[in-house]
Amino acid sequence: MSNATSSSLAFSSLDALPTQLAILDEEGVIVYTNRAWREFGNEHDYQGDSSSVGMNYLGVCDLSGATDATTASEGIRAVIDGDREAFSFEYPCETPDERLWFTMRATRFADDGETYVQVAHLDITDRKRAELEAEEKAERLRNLARMLSHDLRNPLSVAVGYVDSLLDEAVDADGLEQVAGALDRMDDIITDGLVLARHDAVGELSTVDLETRAAAAWEHVDTGSAELVVADSFEFRADPGLLGHVFENLFRNSMEHGARDDLTVRVGVLDGEQGFYVEDDGVGIPAEARDEVFEAGYTTGEEGTGLGLSIVAQAVRAHDWDIAVTEAENGGARFEITGVERPA
Summarised one tens digit per residue, pLDDT across range 24-50 is 999 999 999 999 888 887 876 666 667
Lowest mean pLDDT among 55-69, 161-175, 294-308: 294-308
Looking at residue 135, its pLDDT comes to 82
193 — pLDDT class (breaks 50, 70, 90): low
Q: How far apart are CA 41 and CA 36, in angstroms?
A: 9
Looking at residue 289, its pLDDT comes to 76
Lowest mean pLDDT among 191-205, 249-263, 283-297, 317-331: 191-205
What does pTM read for this prediction?
0.51
Q: How far apart are CA 245 and CA 251, in angstroms?
A: 10
Among 180-184, 199-203, 289-293, name the most confident range.
Answer: 289-293
What percent of the chain clears pLDDT 90, i.e. is strictly above it?
Answer: 33
Nearest to 42 by CA among 28, 32, 52: 52
| Residue 4, pLDDT above cutoff 60 | no
Q: For 97-140, what is each residue's pLDDT tens digit? A: 788 899 999 999 998 889 999 999 998 999 998 888 888 777 76
19 — pLDDT class (breaks 50, 70, 90): confident
161 — pLDDT class (breaks 50, 70, 90): confident
| Residue 335, pLDDT above cutoff 90 | yes
- Are 93 and 122 in contact by the 8 Å Cβ rule? The answer is no
Query: 3-class DSSP state for residue 141?
Result: helix
Looking at residue 339, its pLDDT comes to 93
Looking at residue 87, its pLDDT comes to 94
Across the range 252-267, mean pLDDT stands at 83
Looking at residue 209, its pLDDT comes to 96
Which CA distances in Å does 192 have to 121, 189, 289, 296?
45, 5, 22, 10
Across the range 179-204, mean pLDDT stands at 67
Looking at residue 325, its pLDDT comes to 92
Q: What is the mean pLDDT of the chain?
A: 82
| Residue 323, pLDDT above cutoff 90 | yes
Contacts of 150 (CB under 8 A, 6+ apart): none
Lowest mean pLDDT among 85-89, 137-141, 227-231, 277-281: 137-141
Looking at residue 31, its pLDDT comes to 92
Higher pLDDT, 80 or 175: 80
Looking at residue 206, its pLDDT comes to 92
Looking at residue 57, its pLDDT comes to 92
Looking at residue 83, its pLDDT comes to 92
Which CA distances in Å does 170 have to 23, 162, 173, 177?
86, 12, 5, 10
Looking at residue 1, its pLDDT comes to 41
How far does CA 29 lie from the centroid of its chain? 44
| Residue 301, pLDDT above cutoff 60 | no
Which helix (DSSP H) or strand (DSSP E) does residue 238 occupy?
A: strand 235-238
First to last CA, the chain: 50
